[in-house]
Structure 1
Amino acid sequence: MSNFGELVRSYREKKGYTLTDFAKRIGVSAGYLSNLETGKTQKIHLNVLDKFQQELGIHPLQSENQRLEQRFHRISLLVQQCNKRDPSFTEHFIKQLEQSLELLNEA
C-alpha cells in the first residue's frame, strides 16, 4: 500500500462496506472518505482514526512487518478453529500450502 487511504479502501472493501455506508458508520461524509482513500486529503482527526482502528483494525503507525505478523496470527487462529471442525481437511490444506510455498521459494 502506498498510502493510508489505499489501506483504508482495501480493508473497507474486504469488510464489504460501500463507501457511503462506511462513511455513515464512522460519522464522516462520503466525500471526505473518498478524498482520504484517493489521497486528495491526508488530514485525519484522531476520533476518525480511532474509528478506523475499531471498525477495520487499521493501525497506521504499524510497519508492514507488524501488519503481516498480525495476519499470520489471525491465520493461525483460523486454522486452529478449522482443525477443531475437520482435522483431515486442515491437514490437507496445510500440506498444500507448504508445498506451494516451497515451489514458490524454489523459483
Structure 2
Amino acid sequence: MSSFGQQLRQIRQQKGIALNDFAKELGVSPVYLSNLETGKTQTIQLELLSRLQHELPMEADEEDDVDDWTSARIDRIALMLKELHCADKEAAEYWMGMVEQGIEMFAIKAIGHR
C-alpha cells in the first residue's frame, strides 16, 4: 500500500492541493488521508478509490505512472482477498469467482470471440 500512498501524495502535491483541502473535498479526515498516503492504513473503500481516480487522474503520457497505480490497486485487492480468505473462506471464494468471471466476460468482449 505504501507505493499507492506515495504516488497519491506525489500527485496531490504536484497538483498543488493541500492535504486538509483534499481530505475535506473527499469527505475524509486529514488524519485518514495522511495515513493512507504514508501507508499506515491498509483500508480504503472502493467509492473513495473511485473518487481519488476522478480527482487525481493519472497523466496519460506517463505510462509508468498508470502501471504503478494499477499495480497498487491490484496488490491492494489481492491483500484484501487474502485477508478475507483467512476470515471467511466461502466469501473469498465467491468474490474471487466473481472477479474471474467479470474479467473473462470483458476479455471476451474485447477480443470479440468465444
Q: What range is the shorter-chain TM-score in?
A: 0.5 to 0.7
Q: Give the superposition deviation at 1:39.
A: 0.7
Q: Does 1:4 align with 2:19?
A: no
Higher relative CO (CA 8 A, sep ≥ 6), structure 1 or 2?
2
Distance in 1, Cα, partners of 2:7 & 2:65:
15
2:47 equivalent in structure 1: 47
What is the RMSD computed on CA atoms of the aligned residues?
Answer: 2.2
Q: Does 1:24 align with 2:13?
A: no
TM-score (norm 1): 0.53
TM-score (norm 2): 0.50
Deviations, residues 38-60 of structure 1 (Å, cap 9, x unaligned): 110121101110111000015xx
Change (3 A) 1:64 1:22: same
Runs of 5+ consecutive residues of structure 2 not aligned to the other structure: 69-114
Change (3 A) 1:5 1:66: closer
Change (3 A) 1:37 1:65: closer
Change (3 A) 1:66 1:35: closer
Runs of 5+ consecutive residues of structure 1 not aligned to the other structure: 69-107
Q: How many pairs were matched up?
A: 63
Distance in 2, Cα, partners of 1:46 & 1:15:
23
Distance in 1, Cα, partners of 2:25 & 2:43:
19
Q: What percentage of residue pairs aligned between the two structures are identical?
A: 51
Residues 1-107 of structure 1 aligned to structure 2 (within 5 Å): 3-58=3-58, 64=64, 66-67=66-67
